[in-house]
Amino acid sequence: MTPTTPTFPSRLPNVGTTIFTVMSALAAEHQAVNLGQGFPDFDCDPKLIDGVTTAMRQGHNQYPPMPGVPVLRQAITSKIEALYARQYSADTEITVTAGATQAILTALLCCAGPGDEVIVLEPCYDSYIPNIELTGARVVRVPLAPGTFRPDFDKIGAALSPKTRAIIINSPHNPSGMVWSPEDMRRLDELLAPTNALVISDEVYEHMVYAPLRHESVARYPGLAARSFIVSSFGKTYHVTGWKVGYVAAPAALTAEFRKVHQFNVFTVNTPMQHGLAAYMQDAAPYLELPAFYQAKRDLFREGLAKTKFRLLPCEGTYFQCVAIDQLAVPERDLPEADFCQWLTREIGVAAIPLSAFYGDGFDQRVIRFCFAKKDETLREAVGRLAAL
């Protein structure tokens, strides 16, 4: 008999290779400056690596407690209380996760299922919709305002229904760099107050909000905090995206359900890295100084781009800069965003991400996204190449 591989229905029939993988591979092939995928090209603080090394040498190499090592969970609660004036229990309300993507999927799996609806605000990070689909719930897409990417609360209100299990929000926002205001948070609180809807608040760029703004965590708002899973990322904050360590803060009842799923999809997270992070967090300076660090890179990059024909969109937070391509003096500006980004990578030598990749229907508004989490010399090299446009 000829060996046969069995077939089965795909759980994600519409999902292929992510745009980030495609563009990073194209950048490598053409030796382009990769401003596409969101990761730094510089090293983390050596003290952080020393902390992990010390933890390994001290014997912290076996399974940690399922929700995370106690000293790290306590450090997380102390940080949240200091920044946002809300106290979470390290024992019952903080869970260390294998990155933010796992945290979001786990939050959805613990609360949503067939017959439920989950609202996403587009454009949105590309894992949200497949994560919802894996639960069997229905995705309800609500567009952010084109150009400004601010939330439209009339449309959010219209999307709410008795079937709404959760809404995913993201501030600072990837891909646009928009930051929710206090008024935005209050409007959301008012909308959700009479409902049974949960909030999954993706706050992985919480320490990248630029003056004069501040990060409006849902932890600041009691009504929202009571119904929210707050997701953050050590990888983004400490320049170690490959470590894939994050956390979720949520009320005890929500955390109990979250941990039921967490213990059976990853069980627990890398032990020595947890101890290294806990030791490093004793000094708040690295995350308190991060906004100024990235604001300087943003300003350097924007100053260079201002000398090109790219039209700069606002960047209030994150390490992403969006630009419109409609005023470029090249015929390729009329290509679809995805095709333009491939042309830019091959011919100009700079990789970017089309904003259409963050919409379920591929909405094309002539906007692309650059990542400026790079060395200053990398940004200058990119700007030099883009000056040809």
pLDDT bin (cut points 50, 70, 90) of residue 215 is very high
> Which residue's entry shows tokens 């933010």?
100
Supply the CATH number for residue 150's domain: 3.40.640.10
Task: Please determine, for residue 19, whether its predicted confidence score (pLDDT) is greater than 90.
Answer: no
Q: Environment class of residue 343 by beta-carbon count within 10 Å: exposed (0-12), middle (13-18) or buried (19+)?
A: middle
Question: How confident is the model over 121-143, as a mean pLDDT?
Answer: 97
35 and 128 together in one domain: no
Q: What percent of the chain has pLDDT over 90?
A: 95
203 and 307 together in one domain: no
119 and 23 together in one domain: no
Question: How confident is the model over 63-81, as a mean pLDDT?
Answer: 98
Q: Which structural domain, as residue segments, surrounds residue 273?
A: 46-286
174 and 322 together in one domain: no
Can you tell me the distance from the alpha carbon of 227 to that of 215, in angstroms, rounded to the nearest whole number? 19
pLDDT bin (cut points 50, 70, 90) of residue 14 is confident
Question: How confident is the model over 18-36, as a mean pLDDT?
Answer: 92
89 and 194 together in one domain: yes
> Considering the chain, what is the average pLDDT of its residues?
97
For residue 126, tell me if it sits in a domain: yes
pLDDT in tens, 229-249: 999 999 999 999 999 999 999
Q: Which of 248, 270, 286 is the last residue of a domain?
A: 286
For residue 13, tell me if it sits in a domain: no
Q: Which of 286, 309, 336 is the last residue of a domain?
A: 286
Q: Residue 168 pairs with which residues in a beta bridge?
A: 120, 200
pLDDT bin (cut points 50, 70, 90) of residue 322 is very high
For residue 294, tell me if it sits in a domain: yes
295 and 313 together in one domain: yes
**pLDDT score of 37:** 87
208 and 273 together in one domain: yes
Phi-psi region of 164 (alpha: psi -120 to 50; beta: other; left: phi over 0): beta
For residue 14, tell me if it sits in a domain: no
155 and 269 together in one domain: yes
Name the domain count of the chain.
2
pLDDT in tens, 271-315: 999 999 999 999 999 999 999 999 999 999 999 999 999 999 999
Is residue 119 within 8 A of residue 195, CB to CB? The reply is no
222 and 363 together in one domain: no
For residue 10, tell me if it sits in a domain: no
**pLDDT score of 163:** 98
Q: Provide the sign of the torsion angle of the four alpha carbons 116, 205, 306, 35, taken in this order.
A: negative
pLDDT bin (cut points 50, 70, 90) of residue 108 is very high
59 and 203 together in one domain: yes
59 and 205 together in one domain: yes
pTM, rounded to two decimals: 0.96
pLDDT in tens, 153-189: 999 999 999 999 999 999 999 999 999 999 999 999 9
Structure-block tokens of residue 180: 């929710």
Supply the CATH number for residue 40's domain: 3.90.1150.10
